[in-house]
Homo-oligomer: A and B are copies of this chain.
Amino acid sequence: MKIDPNKPADLSAQIAAAIRDAIVSGALIVDERLPSEAELADHFHVSRPTVREALKRLAAQSLIRTQRGATGGAFVRRLSYEDAYSQQITTSTLLLSMNAIRFDTACEARYALERACAPLSAQRRSADHLATMRSEIFRQGQPGLTDEAFCASDVAFHRALVDGAGNPVLSYQLAGAVEAMQPLMNMITFTARSRTEIVGLHARIADAIEAREAAAAEAVLSELEVYTQDLGRNVMAERAQRSG
């Protein structure tokens, strides 16, 4: 690592890129300590604030962690699944909200990905995953449940379905898709969603997963998609009529 063309601008971005490259290329390994800020400043021929800005960029991407004190410094951080989840969710949410993604596009993507997990989940789901699905279904049937709590339970149910596939990479990829849909789903929930219908479909999904019937699970997921898409169209139409 460690070169720095002095011509263009934005030194802190260049330094951050240099260190990032060193990390992704494996030149810096997990838990390895970076040189101190003063040493880095000396090495790159810049001031300490500039180095600090570069380090903050890396910290924002969960690439390093810093520790104060005598043996402190910046250390290469192991990117955990949790960190990756939250980054994915933030990115997906912003992407959807800032680019005027149509509801049907997001919905289609979400259920397509979820159907991809169904066969694996039917095959491998543990009793634990199944219990989570059942308990979330039970909660969704409680009369006093707020809309927010129902939505959260809905996410938890689908999360259990995905996690049942026993593939952390798949879970990580799906986290963004499912969670980022939440604001869009809320838009519908508070107007038109029939909880009874949803709970019934959820129960059939759980049944199929319990019976290890992959095709049935996929089919019910498709039904759920159709139902959700219909709701979306109705809400859109109503909204258009009201404003027109």
Per-position binary interface string of chain A over residues 77-109, scored 1 when its CB falls under 8 Å from any chain B CB and 0 otherwise? 011110010011011111111110100011011
A78 proximity list for chain B (CB < 8 A): 98-99
Q: Does A216 belong to the interface (CB within 8 Å)?
A: no
Total chain A interface residues with beta-carbon distance under 8 A: 57
Per-position binary interface string of chain A over residues 32-58, scored 1 when its CB falls under 8 Å from any chain B CB and 0 otherwise? 000000000000000001001110111
Taking a contact as CB atoms under 8 Å apart, the answer to whether B169 and A109 are in contact is yes
Q: A115 CB to closest chain B CB, in angstroms? A: 6
Q: Does A167 belong to the interface (CB within 8 Å)?
A: yes
Within 8 Å by CB of A49, from B49, B79, B95, B97, lies: B49
A22 proximity list for chain B (CB < 8 A): none
Q: Does A151 belong to the interface (CB within 8 Å)?
A: no
Distance between Cα atoms of A120 and B79 in the complex (Å) = 33
By Cβ-Cβ distance, the 10 closest A-B pairs, closest first, are A116-B116, A57-B60, A109-B169, A60-B60, A109-B170, A112-B116, A53-B56, A79-B94, A84-B95, A56-B56
